[in-house]
């Protein structure tokens, strides 16, 4: 029987009507075992002298496997499948988010203050001094999560409707982890000019913009143009959130191995949105020896001076048309491998090309660049993007605190200094004495992470001159 574990994405609850005869359920259990479907909870719903209705929960490998199991159950004599539900689809019924007001409207007096005529005074005050919009509206704590559905998770160009469940999940994380009210905006266009125009149009209602699941290379141009056009923070989280957490994990991994960031040789494989941002972040943090690979081979290289000079725009160091070697060539003598590409492209022999005490971050999902079982005996420190192995590198460790800190000081931008501060705060969320090969990055559920990151980001915003509030507090006591 295949052990899919408690977090299987394919868990079905099936309501069965069975003849109330000894041995019938045993036949069902035997069928599930034969199919490799893990049997979980079994509950009796009702029973009569002739029939018994049970809810049976079991895990399957995928949707096709589930359909096959259901068909076989229906074919068992004296067994009828009354219904089948998938827990993930049940959780999404009706959507995962809603809007609630802070003040109950239960009297005519309250209505007259939150809406007309009372609200008119607030509108006039903001018209006279537009900065008061931060004090008297939700703008100071609101983030627009904007997507065009062109790069939904690792699933590809699924379109704006299919992106909506993912964006709802994202705004839930904003609220749960950082207390931020975020709003999913799924745009029915993939034209960069249109996206920029729409986001500029809706910006007055938000304190920041989170770009999400927009494919490369369009995402670079869209983010750049919006950052230039708007006076509120704009961040493409697929790029920068991932890069921040990778830097935090590397900081602690180097602490464990006793290596210095300026000395290590780093290979980044996969130069899409996340990979490119990762290279820029690592160079900003002090990495001097870096090679970037894509499917063509080594296409990013240079002397430490050249790499540092082009870290904000890697174009000058990219040679896509003339790769200078293969991924295996790049791995020779490398201390660190960061994979943001595709699964199962590395072998044990590839890892053995690296230097001793090697650090491997295999981030491809669902299958890492090298299997965890193989990597365990061939590297000192191993991390993935998955939650079922130690050292999960998850951008949800970064974006809630980054946006919280930026909003708290009404930052006009999220800059390099703020991202570096976020990475350092995440790394130091783990006491130095607690670091180990399997504990280089804090848990997503560590409640200390977001406040630490928010304070560090707010301080960096003030120090770099992009904060419009000196004190990181929400709201304002200013009057008309």
pLDDT tens digit sequence for 421-456: 999 999 999 999 999 999 999 999 999 999 999 999
CA angle 181, 186, 191 (to 5 degrees): 130
pLDDT of residue 141: 97
- What are the distances in angstroms from CA 305 to CA 290, 302, 412? 11, 8, 31
Is residue 262's pLDDT more than 80? yes
Q: How confident is the model at residue 472 (pLDDT cuts 50, 70, 90)?
A: low
Instruction: Give the pairing of strands 38-47 and 51-59.
Output: antiparallel
Instruction: Give the pairing of strands 289-294 and 297-300.
Output: antiparallel
pLDDT of residue 366: 79
CA distance 399 to 454: 10
pLDDT single digits (tens) 337-396 = 999 998 899 998 999 999 999 999 999 987 899 998 888 889 999 999 888 788 999 999
CATH of domain 108-232: 3.40.50.10380
Burial of residue 475, with CB atoms counted within 10 A of its CB: 0-12 exposed, 13-18 middle, 19 or more buried: exposed
Is residue 241's pLDDT more than 90? yes
The highest-level CATH class for domain 239-480 is: alpha beta
Alpha helices in 153-287 (DSSP H): 160-178, 192-202, 218-229, 237-257, 273-285
Q: DSSP 3-state assignment of 310?
A: coil
Q: What is the pTM of this model?
A: 0.87
CA angle 78, 84, 86 (to 5 degrees): 150
Cross-sheet strand order for the sheet of 79-86: 38-47, 51-59, 11-19, 79-86
Judge: domain 11-92, CATH 3.30.70.260. yes
Q: Which residue has the tokens 């000058």?
A: 316
Is residue 7's pLDDT more than 80? no
Q: Please give the full DSSP string across 377-395, using - where no structure is assigned.
A: TT-SEEEES-TTSSSB--G
Q: Which of 115, 175, 295, 332 is catalytic?
A: 115
Is residue 4's pLDDT more than 50? no
Asked if 288 and 259 touch (Cβ cutoff 8 Å), the reply is no
pLDDT of residue 310: 84
Is residue 411's pLDDT more than 90? yes
DSSP summary character for residue 296: T
Asked if 219 and 199 touch (Cβ cutoff 8 Å), the reply is no
- Any idea how long the chain is? 480
pLDDT single digits (tens) 74-111 = 999 999 999 998 888 888 888 998 988 999 999 999 99
49 is catalytic: no
Rounded to 10°, the helix 273-285/416-427 angle is 80
Q: Which of 10, 134, 139, 170 is catalytic?
A: 170
Task: Taking residues 453-474, report their average pLDDT.
Answer: 89
Mean pLDDT of the chain: 92
pLDDT of residue 479: 33
170 is catalytic: yes
Same topology, domains 108-232 and 239-480? Answer is yes
Asked if 368 and 339 touch (Cβ cutoff 8 Å), the reply is yes
Q: Where are the domains of the chain?
A: 11-92, 108-232, 239-480
Burial of residue 454, with CB atoms counted within 10 A of its CB: 0-12 exposed, 13-18 middle, 19 or more buried: buried
Q: How confident is the model at residue 253 (pLDDT cuts 50, 70, 90)?
A: very high
């Amino acid at each position: 029987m295949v052990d899919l574990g408690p977090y299987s994405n394919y868990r079905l609850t099936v309501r069965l009507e069975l003849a109330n005869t000894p041995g019938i359920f045993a036949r069902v259990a035997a069928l599930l075992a034969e199919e490799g479907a893990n049997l979980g909870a079994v509950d009796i719903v009702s029973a009569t002298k002739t029939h018994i209705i049970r809810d049976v929960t079991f895990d399957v490998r995928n949707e096709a496997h589930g359909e096959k199991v259901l068909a076989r159950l229906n074919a068992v004599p004296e067994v009828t499948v009354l219904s089948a539900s998938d827990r993930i689809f049940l959780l999404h019924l009706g959507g995962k988010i809603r809007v609630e007001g802070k003040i109950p409207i239960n009297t005519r007096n309250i209505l007259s203050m939150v809406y007309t005529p009372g609200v008119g005074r607030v509108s006039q005050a903001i018209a006279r001094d537009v900065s008061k919009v931060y004090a008297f509206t939700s703008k100071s704590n609101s983030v627009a999560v904007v997507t065009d559905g062109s790069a939904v998770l690792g699933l590809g160009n699924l379109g704006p409707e299919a992106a909506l469940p993912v964006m709802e999940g994202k705004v839930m994380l904003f609220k749960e982890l950082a207390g931020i009210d975020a709003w999913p905006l799924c745009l029915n266009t993939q034209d960069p000019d249109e996206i920029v125009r729409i986001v500029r149009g809706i910006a007055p209602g938000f304190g920041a913009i989170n770009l999400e699941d927009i494919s490369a290379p369009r995402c670079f141009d869209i983010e750049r143009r919006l950052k230039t056009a708007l006076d509120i923070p704009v961040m493409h989280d697929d790029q920068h959130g991932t890069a921040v957490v990778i830097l935090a994990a590397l900081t602690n991994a180097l602490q464990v191995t006793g290596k210095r960031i300026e000395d290590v040789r780093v290979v980044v494989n996969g130069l899409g949105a996340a990979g490119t941002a990762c290279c820029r972040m690592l160079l900003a943090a002090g990495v001097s020896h870096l090679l970037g690979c894509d499917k063509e081979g080594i296409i990013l290289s240079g002397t430490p001076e050249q790499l540092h000079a082009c870290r904000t725009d890697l174009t000058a160091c990219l040679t896509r048309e003339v790769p200078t070697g293969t991924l295996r060539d790049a791995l020779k003598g490398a201390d660190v491998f960061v994979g943001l590409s595709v699964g199962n492209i590395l072998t044990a022999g590839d890892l053995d090309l690296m230097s001793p005490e090697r650090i491997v971050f295999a981030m491809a999902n669902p299958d890492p660049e090298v299997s965890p079982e193989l990597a365990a005996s061939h590297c000192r420190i191993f991390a993935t993007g998955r939650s079922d192995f130690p050292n999960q590198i998850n951008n949800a460790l970064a974006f809630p605190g980054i946006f919280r800190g930026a909003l708290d000081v009404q930052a006009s931008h999220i800059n390099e200094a703020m991202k570096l501060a976020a990475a350092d705060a995440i790394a130091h969320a783990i006491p130095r004495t607690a670091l180990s090969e399997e504990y280089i990055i804090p848990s997503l559920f560590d409640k200390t992470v977001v406040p630490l990151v928010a304070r560090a980001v707010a301080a960096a915003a003030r120090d770099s001159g992009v904060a419009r509030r000196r004190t990181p507090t929400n709201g304002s006591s200013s009057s008309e």
